[in-house]
Amino acid sequence: MNFKSRLLTLLLFWTFSILSFSQERDYSAFEKYVKSKGDAFTKENDFKKAQSLFLQREWDSTLVYTSKQLSVKPTNIQLTNFSHFLRGYSFKQQNVFDEAKSEFLKITDDFDFHLHVKIFLGEIALEQEQYAKALESLKGIEEIPDDELLGLRRSNIEANIGLCYLHLDEYDTADVYLQRNLLFLEAQKDTIGLIGAYGNLATNYDYKDKLDETIFYYKKAYELSTYTDAYALKADASFNMYQIEKYLQNPEKAYQYIEAYNEARDAENDQNEIAKVLKLEKQIAVEQKQREVSLLEAENKVKEAQKDGLMLSSVILLLLLGTGVYFYREKVKSNTIISAQKEDLDELNATKDKLFSIVSHDLRSSVHALKSSNTDLVDNLEAKNLEKVHTLLHSNSAIVNGAYNLLDNLLNWALLQTKQSYFEVTELRLFFIVEQVAHNYKALLLEKKIHFENTILKKDKVFADQESLKIILRNIIDNAIKFSNPEDSIKIYTQETREGYCDLVIEDTGLGMSETTRQNLLQETIVTSEKENKDIIGSGLGMQLCKSMIKKNNGVFFIESTLGKGTKMIVSLSKIAPNG
């Protein structure tokens, strides 16, 4: 068994807790040192605010006040160093690695946290896949006494060094460092860290082609993940076990693990939604507190003004003027809100009209077809024509499945149009996404005796939103099956026709389409024109949804088809990160 092609994706997951201070006590130790060293400069108001916000992990606000501090003509090189350090760390926490590296490189070697600078530069190089450069920064620090590390954990440094050696194909040396990290985490009983450590060791043994050790550590990671509420860890551990059982040809166990993976992802999404709500509540609480502070300040100003009788008239006049300005601004704000709400309402009404049009047209067609089929079914049951009954039942199943797919597409399309869908562009490996989606169509492919082949290279990667890419694939594969004859074939592969883009091709040998139909499908419309095969019910909404989601992923959609010879659906996606 070999999982080498999945290494980079796995490492993004396994090293997350290593590339940051994952344990609360480590944060506390590091923050104490930052506070104690930074207190020498708290006479500078902007730096004092920056340090306070840094300790509250308010990274954007930290960047604002450190920028203000650096805009002043520098008088103390260590104060300048400290400001660049807080900025570099804040950028690093936000995964803005180039900016973080730029800030750290501005710090002189006599700075109190110069070891941290080297370590953070090493971690950034590791994130940017510059493994030799990362090793150059991290090597040697492992010998530094603990009291000079100022809150950093030696085991994290050793684990990162191990990962560098792993990427540089020095697996035995990597094993030494990863085992050290494992022993430390076992002593600390750090559950989250142990899951990552087991995963790193499993990956290393996979590279060494040691099957038993690879399986052992992946199982350890999975078993430990079941005792946590870290659903992202559970999902990745479950998916690794699914791949193992799939390789070992244990389909029942593989199915259990893929079910566990789906449950963990659903729980993770729920957890993210809760986190968003909590964050919003916190923002509201802060705004409320700010309003209370503003109100108290206003009351204090009024009381001070009342002490001086000669200023009473001026204070009243200012209050009246302020009230007038306030109500004028509130009126302007209300008008702006009303105008925005009207635009949103018009857009929602347009969306509603489109939805009603599709529902009335396509659901009515499906229900009418089902009604007619059921009438034939009753007649043939009475005549005991079992062969015809069997055919009609299969037809009913196809009609119901088509109606279900229509409703699913309607929901996703409505969410997309009303901007309610969650969208996050990340680096994805196409082979595994296609495998997950195609797994759901295995029974239908077998029923129609369609030969399916996924020849995508496991190293092929694109940047896209995972859930929307799955919806795109589901609709295209569903259409390929729907418009294929029994014993036809469907092949999925990649090609490169433009620099920086990867073309995902879904090719079938089915019914194909005319040039007119092909042109209509590429237009920005919801209901397609009349199709060559009138026995297949469909509105074109699924294809419209695909086009909208491909466009939102900054991709391009092409169709190549010949009537009677088959179709190629081509989705061209970027291989470069949006901010790359």
pLDDT of residue 9: 37
Model confidence pTM above 0.75:
no
Q: Tokens 């004859």 map to which residue?
A: 485
d(CA 22, CA 152): 11
Closest CA to 313 of 329, 297, 321: 321
**Are the C-beta atoms of 1 and 208 separated by less than 8 Å?**
no
d(CA 451, CA 508): 10
The third-level CATH classification (topology) of the domain covering 424-574 is Heat Shock Protein 90 (3.30.565)
Both ends of the chain: CA-CA distance in Å? 34
Closest CA to 195 of 22, 28, 25: 22
Helix/strand/coil (H, E, C) string of 250-313? CHHHHHHHHHHHHHHHHHHHHHHHHHHHHHHHHHHHHHHHHHHHHHHHHHHHHHHHHHCHHHHH
Q: Which residues of 191-207 are buried (b: 16+ CB within 10 A; e: fewer)?
A: ebbbbbbbbbbbbbbbb
pLDDT of residue 573: 93
Helix/strand/coil (H, E, C) string of 195-206? HHHHHHHHHHHH
The third-level CATH classification (topology) of the domain covering 4-218 is 1.25.40
d(CA 367, CA 93): 54
pLDDT of residue 222: 87
Per DSSP, what are the bridge partners of residue 429?
461
What is the token pair recorded at 331? 């009126």
**Are the C-beta atoms of 538 and 402 separated by less than 8 Å?**
yes
Q: Tokens 């993004």 map to which residue?
A: 12
* Tens-digit pLDDT string for the chain (580 aa): 444 444 443 443 344 333 333 333 345 577 888 888 888 888 889 999 999 999 988 999 999 999 999 888 777 899 999 999 999 999 999 999 999 999 999 999 899 888 888 888 988 988 888 988 888 888 777 677 766 677 677 777 888 888 988 888 888 888 888 888 888 888 878 888 888 888 888 888 888 888 888 888 888 888 888 888 888 888 888 888 888 888 888 888 888 888 888 888 888 787 777 766 666 666 676 566 666 756 776 676 767 766 777 777 778 888 888 888 888 888 888 888 888 888 767 766 765 566 566 556 566 666 766 777 778 777 777 777 877 777 777 667 666 666 666 666 666 666 666 665 678 899 999 999 999 998 888 888 998 899 999 999 999 999 999 988 999 999 999 999 999 999 999 999 999 988 999 999 999 999 999 999 898 888 865 444 444 555 554 556 788 888 988 998 999 999 999 999 999 999 999 999 887 5
Closest CA to 184 of 10, 12, 23, 11: 23
d(CA 338, CA 513): 48
CA angle (94 as vertex; 89, 97 as ends), nearest 5: 70
CA angle (154 as vertex; 150, 158 as ends), nearest 5: 145
Enumerate the CATH 1.25.40.10 domain ranges in the chain, comma separated: 4-218
* 130: phi then psi, degrees, rounded to nearest 5: -100, 75
Closest CA to 504 of 564, 562, 537, 463: 463
Angle between the N-to-C axes of helices 364-382 and 386-417, in degrees from 0 to 180, rounded to the nearest 10: 170
DSSP conformation class of 160: H
pLDDT of residue 405: 64
Enumerate the CATH 3.30.565.10 domain ranges in the chain, comma separated: 424-574
Q: Which residues of 384-407 are buried (b: 16+ CB within 10 A; e: fewer)?
A: eeeeebeebeebbebbeebbebbe
pLDDT of residue 13: 37
Closest CA to 555 of 428, 435, 413: 428
Q: Tokens 């079910």 map to which residue?
A: 259
